[in-house]
């Protein structure tokens, strides 16, 4: 019987080398979560191993907590740490239920024995006894007196804090629809897949992919296995959650950050204890404590939100593949606009037609060259005619920068080297990177001139130029779900917003889609710019013409010949991806290589550039250093590694970062590593 537990304390320190040995408390196993004394304070730690003895003098943990991690997650943590140049503790922190939350219990009273014939009880006491069993909150004093006489037992009992999603979309009893031929074929291919196999469900928008997920989930449950369903953002995709709840009721646990910590804790525990068998949630739900997973679904697999921007900068799609391999689960990644990586790497299952048999809407490209104003006259005309339309403009605010008409001064953020965006309704200039705000200027602080020019158009300004009632959905909108619901109910109107409007919504009566500036994503200095533009245009096109209404799509661009736009206009994902993969092969971009980006940052002038230079010198063949714009008062500089051998490159970067971080010359410089940057 081992007497020692090896514990990984959950701290953010990078240079800590865990695990640390402690006396093994009664019942502690691998995965147990403890509170341990560490470096002079009490911290939460996870047991990652057991040992017979230790060469150190051991401290005793303070407590064993009520929840524990399953073995496979404990084993996943070192893999994550290595894969993303992070630490085991940081990886484990992502897997634990919310901090500070505890199971909630209430006192519950039940009858222990019937009163004997000669026992004297008041009428009130008889009434109390007759009311049992029940929660003991009311008349606790009276119940305690009956408890003292041995008539009643009062014990704590767990209570589940059910999230809102548990009440909406309760099991409906409605019959599932008859599958389309595409759906039936896709389902058979999923069912016939080998354990650990990865499939790309490439279905046009409206092909009915969700129904395939639901049927595959049913089969996994019937085989005694659990199901993990990842979605981009729950606030924007409530439909898929409610459809799972409709079909599977309480077997579904919803995990997402908008839940109160207590609710999230309870949903987590329901999965951990096997009372729920299907976990649905965004990126972080990939760590759901399910055992024996049989199916992992990644819906809208192209969505950028699957990449985590904190440390470790994990990609939940890759973690999902790893968990599928560990569990022998089938992975199904679904999208109408898959990433080039998935197209090349996963087995394709295609669903080429819409469920309702409708054609995909025709897409017309409008050349913006020579057009004054934000909207092409044809687009304006079409918006006047359409009953319901969706308009996509990927820029929040009124206008994207201001200059002084006399001296040319531009208004910039004091802590970032970017221009401030005008938000007219709030009377503010705002930095979209750090959140800095200031009042709208009435005169130029440089030359005193009162004429200020406004450049560019954001959603707020376009709202005033559109005909008809507008429902605005962007990062400034308070409640996205409510905006979407109001648009759905409306007889006519225009849903205007940033890329949020293109995300998987299923409105039956949208006649028109307009992309105001398709070049905006194309101009991004990033090798994924083409892919993103294609996805954005094709996804927006997918929102129009559903449910029997005729639809069409207008795409405004100054680059009508760009492959992303030409192929999106033809709904030709296959043709686009073939060309895109060819381009990436020539330029040696992923999936033909692995990119790793290291960003050095520091408020001290010159320090970030010096550290980045040292990194480049430690990494033969690396590109850079290249300066990035100053962010939140910190100068930044980046180095990029492009490598054929992923594991070797990640290891080399890890060593180089450790070397530079440990060099006194670069003290105070923060280094962040991003494997597979987005
Ligand atoms: P996708 O995610 O592939 O774009 P959805 O799963 O959102 O498509 O399905 C589109 C619409 O078709 C939904 O309203 C859904 O309820 C409906 N649907 C799906 N399968 C069927 C079917 N077999 N018969 C009738 N309607 C279906
Ligand atoms: Zn001026
Ligand atoms: Zn800023």
Residue located nearest, by CA, to atom 16 of ligand 1? 208
Whether the CB of 189 sits within 6 Å of ligand 1: no
Q: Where exactly does CATH 3.30.70.600 map onto the chain?
A: 594-675
- How remote is the CA of residue 180 from the centroid of ligand 1, in Å? 10
Whether the CB of 211 sits within 6 Å of ligand 1: yes
pLDDT tens per residue across span 588-606: 999 999 999 999 999 999 9
| pLDDT value of position 164 | 47
- How remote is the CA of residue 352 from the centroid of ligand 1, in Å? 13
At 422, list the tokens: 């005008």
Which residues does 138 contact at the CB level (< 8 Å), separation at least 6? none
Residue located nearest, by CA, to atom 18 of ligand 1? 208
| pLDDT value of position 356 | 82
Q: Where exactly does CATH 3.40.1440.60 map onto the chain?
A: 4-95
- How remote is the CA of residue 163 from the centroid of ligand 1, in Å? 26
DSSP H stretches of helix in 316-376:
316-327, 340-345
For residue 59, the Cα-to-chain-centroid distance in whole angstroms is: 39
- How remote is the CA of residue 147 from the centroid of ligand 1, in Å? 57
What is the topology classification, in CATH, of domain 363-396+460-587? Rossmann fold (3.40.50)
Distances (CA, A) of 235 to 167, 239, 263: 16, 10, 16
| pLDDT value of position 475 | 73
| pLDDT value of position 168 | 42
| pLDDT value of position 134 | 82
What is the topology classification, in CATH, of domain 4-95? GIY-YIG endonuclease (3.40.1440)
Whether the CB of 209 sits within 6 Å of ligand 1: yes
DSSP H stretches of helix in 414-518:
459-465, 480-489
| pLDDT value of position 520 | 82
DSSP label at residue 358: P
| For ligand 1, mutation pick of 216, 355, 539 (most atoms within 8 Å of CB) | 355
Cα–Cα distance measured from residue 175 to residue 156, given in angstroms and rounded to the nearest whole number: 40
* Residue recorded with tokens 């759901």: 288
Phi, psi (deg, nearest 5) at residue 64? -110, 125
| pLDDT value of position 523 | 80
Please tell me whether residue 304 adopts helix, strand or coil conformation. Answer: helix
| pLDDT value of position 615 | 96
pLDDT tens per residue across span 484-543: 889 999 999 999 998 888 876 778 789 999 999 998 888 877 888 999 999 999 988 888
- How remote is the CA of residue 637 from the centroid of ligand 3, in Å? 17
* Residue recorded with tokens 């593949």: 321
Element (H, E) at 292: none
**Burial level of 6, CB count in 10 A (0-12/13-18/19+)?**
buried
| pLDDT value of position 249 | 93
Cα–Cα distance measured from residue 656 to residue 247, given in angstroms and rounded to the nearest whole number: 51
What's the pTM?
0.86
DSSP H stretches of helix in 446-499:
459-465, 480-489
Decide the pairing of beta strands 198-203 and 252-254: unpaired
- 181-351 CATH, one of 3.30.70.3280, 1.10.1740.110, 3.40.50.300, 3.30.1490.20: 3.40.50.300
- How remote is the CA of residue 91 from the centroid of ligand 3, in Å? 29
| pLDDT value of position 489 | 92
Whether the CB of 240 sits within 6 Å of ligand 1: no
Contact 215, 341 (CB under 8 A): no
Whether the CB of 207 sits within 6 Å of ligand 1: yes
At 130, list the tokens: 């007759």
Q: What are the beta bridge partners of residue 375?
A: none
Cα–Cα distance measured from residue 438 to residue 429, given in angstroms and rounded to the nearest whole number: 5
- Superfamily for 594-675? Ribosomal protein S10 (3.30.70.600)
Positions in the chain whose pLDDT score sits under 50? 164-169
The 3-state secondary structure of 452-516 reads EEEECCCHHHHHHHCCCCEEEECCCCCCHHHHHHHHHHCCCEEEEECHHHHCCCCCCCCCEEEEC
At 274, list the tokens: 């096997």
Q: Where exactly does CATH 3.40.50.300 map onto the chain?
A: 181-351, 363-396+460-587
At 581, list the tokens: 């993969």
């Amino acid at each position: 019987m081992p007497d020692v537990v090896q514990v990984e304390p959950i701290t953010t320190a990078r240079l800590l080398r865990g695990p640390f040995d402690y006396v093994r408390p009664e019942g502690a196993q691998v995965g147990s979560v403890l509170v341990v004394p560490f470096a002079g304070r009490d911290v939460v730690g996870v047991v990652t191993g057991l040992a017979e003895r230790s060469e150190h003098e051991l401290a005793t943990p303070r407590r064993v907590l009520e929840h524990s991690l399953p073995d496979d997650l404990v084993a996943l943590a070192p893999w994550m740490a290595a894969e993303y140049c992070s630490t085991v503790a940081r990886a484990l922190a992502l897997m634990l239920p919310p901090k500070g939350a505890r199971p909630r219990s209430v006192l519950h009273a039940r009858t222990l024995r019937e009163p004997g014939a000669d026992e004297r009880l008041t009428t009130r006491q008889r009434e109390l006894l007759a009311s049992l069993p029940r929660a003991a909150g009311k008349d606790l004093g009276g119940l305690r007196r009956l408890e003292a006489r041995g008539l009643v037992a009062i014990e704590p009992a767990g209570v589940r804090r059910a999230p809102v999603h548990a009440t909406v979309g309760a099991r409906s009893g409605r019959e599932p629809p008859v599958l389309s031929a595409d759906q039936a074929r896709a389902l058979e291919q999923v069912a016939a897949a080998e354990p650990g196999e990865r499939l790309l469900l490439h279905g046009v928008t409206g092909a009915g992919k969700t129904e395939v997920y639901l049927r595959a989930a049913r089969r996994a449950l019937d085989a005694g296995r659990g199901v993990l369903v990842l979605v981009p953002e729950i606030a924007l995709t409530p439909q898929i959650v409610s459809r799972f709840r409709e079909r599977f009721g309480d077997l579904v646990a919803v995990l997402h950050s908008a839940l109160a910590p207590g609710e999230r804790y309870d949903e987590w525990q329901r999965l951990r204890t096997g009372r729920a068998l299907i976990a649905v949630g965004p990126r972080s739900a990939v760590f759901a404590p399910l055992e024996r997973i049989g199916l992992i679904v990644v819906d809208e697999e192209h969505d950028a939100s699957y990449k985590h921007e904190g440390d470790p900068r994990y990609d939940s799609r890759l973690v999902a593949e790893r968990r599928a391999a560990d569990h022998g689960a089938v992975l199904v990644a679904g999208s109408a606009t898959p990433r080039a990586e998935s197209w090349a790497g996963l087995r394709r299952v295609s669903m080429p037609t819409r469920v309702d048999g409708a054609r995909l809407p025709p897409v017309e490209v409008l050349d913006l060259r020579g057009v004054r104003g934000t909207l092409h006259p044809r687009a304006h005309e079409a918006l006047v005619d359409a009953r319901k339309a969706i308009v996509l403009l990927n820029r929040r605010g009124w206008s994207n920068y201001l200059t002084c008409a006399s001296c040319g001064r531009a208004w910039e953020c004091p802590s970032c080297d970017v221009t401030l965006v005008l938000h007219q309704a709030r009377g503010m200039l705002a930095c979209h990177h750090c959140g800095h705000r200031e009042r709208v200027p009435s005169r130029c602080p440089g030359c005193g001139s009162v004429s200020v020019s406004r450049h560019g158009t954001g959603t707020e300004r376009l709202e005033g130029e559109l005909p008809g009632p507008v429902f605005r959905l962007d990062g400034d909108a308070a409640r996205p779900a409510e905006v979407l619901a109001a648009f759905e109910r409306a007889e006519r109107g225009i849903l205007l917003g940033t890329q949020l409007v293109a995300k998987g919504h299923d409105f039956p009566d949208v006649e028109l889609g307009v992309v105001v500036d398709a070049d905006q994503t194309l101009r991004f200095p990033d090798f994924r710019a083409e892919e993103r533009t294609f996805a954005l245009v094709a996804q927006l096109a997918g929102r129009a013409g559903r449910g029997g209404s005729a639809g069409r799509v207008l795409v405004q661009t100054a680059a009508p010949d760009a492959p992303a736009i030409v192929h999106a206009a033809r709904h030709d994902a296959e043709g686009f991806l073939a060309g895109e993969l060819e381009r990436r092969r020539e330029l040696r971009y992923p999936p033909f290589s692995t990119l790793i980006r290291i960003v050095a940052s520091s408020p001290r002038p010159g320090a970030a550039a010096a550290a980045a230079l040292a990194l480049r010198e430690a990494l033969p063949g690396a590109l850079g250093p290249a300066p990035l714009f100053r962010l939140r008062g910190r100068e930044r500089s980046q180095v990029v590694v492009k490598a054929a051998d992923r594991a070797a490159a990640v290891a080399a970067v890890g060593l180089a970062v450790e070397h530079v971080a440990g060099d006194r010359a670069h003290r105070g410089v923060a280094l962040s590593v991003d494997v597979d940057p987005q």
